[in-house]
Amino acid sequence: MTLYSEINEQPERIQSLLAFQRKEVERIALEIRKRDIQYVFLAARGTSDNAGRYANYLLGAHNRLPLALATPSLFTYYKRPPKLKNALVIGISQSGKSPDIVSVLEEGNRQGCATLVITNEPGSPLTQRADYVIDIRAGMEKAVAATKTYTAELMSIAMLSVALHGNKKLWQDLEKTGRWMKEALKQDNFIAQAAQRYRYMDQAIVLGRGFNYATAFEWALKLKELAYINAEPYSSADFAHGPIAMIEPGFPVLAIAPKGKVSGSMVEMLKRLHMDISAELVVISNDKRALALAQVPLTIPSDMPEWLSPLGCILPAQLFAYYLTLAKGYDSEKPRSIRKVTETR
């Protein structure tokens, strides 16, 4: 059960990453601070793109850095890359092999930008185009569906943000993350039983907001690639602007709604779905108000701060996708039509 074992080894991988890469990340942050960085330009695909969504919120909220997600086709097919003056160009790729991400880093170098790569393959083609490299140290990931490389990417982004910020107290929160993740994984048996309830589900909406906008996309991706469910991710704010009209009584809505700045708006949306529409709710949270509205409540530790909650929230989501895949009779190790490494141009 490769996927299952990789889900469960994530807390240890995160602790190892923090222990072995903190000094390197602090060194990189020191070098970046010497540059006149005005914004971040980030290129990624798939799961790594979802990690980029987390960076969008975290680097904005903690470091006041605007972040633009790259459109790699402008670099490859259209040959019309944007001007990147004063940008920190970041490429995130588990394999470091995707030619379109490499092309963005190459253009960043050509325009004289600082370039950084976050990858699980420190000797890959992508790293050869970078000024700085963060090795996420996830170890070999054999399962096609990415799990531990995703959370290691999130942790690398969080470490970079803290190092750029310079607040030592935030490092203390990072040091607790492995413990928080272990707590989130203790719901294994409950999730295995709950997944049976949804074995005939073929479509769902996944809601998140703020830091967990990324989690909504990643949970939806895992449901698509493993259980072949048409799972559509939305910000709860965007969802209110039209797509909510799709929801009928019993329609499954999966939500990530931990305590934090956006929890009030998420709870209001969940109340509307529960009380006015009678939607079927699966909720990941540490907010009692949100959990009380769910048919299936999944918890993360109560003291996990919002900015790190994506590292906790994605674990119940991964287990849910895994057990639902088994409940539907599919092979979690051999999802159809996809490969471990996808090289897009």
DSSP codes of every residue in 53-93:
HHHHHHHHHHH---EEE--THHHHTS--PPP-TTEEEEEEE
pLDDT of residue 345: 55
The CA distance from 108 to 116, in Å, is: 10
Q: Of the candidates 96, 115, 93, which has an alpha carbon nearest to the alpha carbon of residue 47? A: 93
- In the set 186, 261, 288, 340, the catalytic residue is 340
Active site residue 340: yes
Positions of the chain with pLDDT lower than 70, given as ranges: 1, 337-345
DSSP code at position 196: H
Q: Of the candidates 143, 133, 57, which has an alpha carbon nearest to the alpha carbon of residue 91? A: 133
Could you give the domains of the chain?
A: 2-166 (3.40.50.10490), 181-327 (3.40.50.10490)
pTM to 2 decimals? 0.96
pLDDT of residue 76: 87
pLDDT of residue 168: 86
Residue pair 231/215 in contact (Cβ under 8 Å)? The answer is no
Tokens matching residue 52: 């980029």
Residue type, 155: M
